[in-house]
Amino acid sequence: MGAPAGTGSPVTDRHNAARWIVRFGGGPDPDDGASAEPGEDSVVIRPAVEDPQAPWVIYLHGGGMVYYSTEVFQPFLRTLATRLWAPVEAFDYLKVPEHTVEESVERLAGQLTARCRTLTAPRIVLAGDSVGGLLALYLALRALPGVFSRLVLLYPVLDLETERDSYRAYGEGHFLDRDSMRLFKSALTPFFRSRHFDPLALPERDLALLPPCSVVTAGCDVLRDEGLAWAAQRAADRPDGLRHLHFPDLPHDFCLYAGKVASARDAVAEIARTAFPPEGAR
């Protein structure tokens, strides 16, 4: 299966991408009992049963900073909140190309900073998928150091400089294609390069601030090899703080298809069970 082709109009392409996810990923489970509380900058998904000791999860969605929204992600976020017995707060952000990456990241950093000051949960976990994983890593180290008890990165963008073997193996027909990533990186790279932020070459000052991490990689994904490389680095320098889950038969964005694809649904259950460990677990 391949994602819908671009039309040249970001607005039209976003609409088509959202329709694609609804068609092949399914909608929210009407019987899950979860509720959505929209706010000015985010939406909070609350499960029917909430554990008072569960963390508050802040989520940053993927889509290359061009596509998707918190609405598109709600079926997955509802599943995640229900399985964690925890509130999940998802933030939207300004999209490229109508806005610059700098505008979007600075605004998002301000929103998360203000929000975290108001939270009273015992722990705050920052999670994100694809480019949302890159944003989560950057914000945890450069905007909100020491705030999050754990980072959870789902098939994240981590290498803006090179194309690894997985680009050649899975560059077409696996949802996220090689050409789309090149387009996304053309906007992302100048911002992160100007701030000397390379996830695969983090300086000691960033490594010292890095909270425990969970990394999820997909086997049939152009981003597979950079995720595996980053997980190997963290296993070498922070083995006690790393959890790495690899799903060899799944493509990029598989969490969005958990509503209709059994293997994706099983993977999401495993992510909820393993990538978000209870307090005190490593």
Length of the chain: 282
Residue 1, pLDDT score: 47
CA 121 centroid distance within chain:
21
Residue 91, pLDDT score: 98
CB 79 within 8 A of CB 268: yes
**Token match 């950079």: residue?**
226
pTM metric for this prediction? 0.95
Spatial CB neighbours of 277, under 8 Å, sequence gap ≥ 6: 150, 214, 243
Residue 106, pLDDT score: 98
Give the pLDDT means over successive 10-residue stretches in the chain (282 positions): 63 88 83 92 96 96 95 95 97 96 98 96 96 98 97 98 95 88 96 98 96 98 98 92 96 94 96 88 58
Spatial CB neighbours of 254, under 8 Å, sequence gap ≥ 6: 155, 218, 247, 261, 263, 264, 267
CB 228 within 8 A of CB 258: no
- Spatial strand order of the sheet with 150-154 comes to 35-38, 42-46, 88-91, 56-60, 124-129, 150-154, 213-220, 242-251
**Token match 């909270």: residue?**
211
Per CATH, the architecture of 10-274 is what? Answer: 3-Layer(aba) Sandwich (3.40)
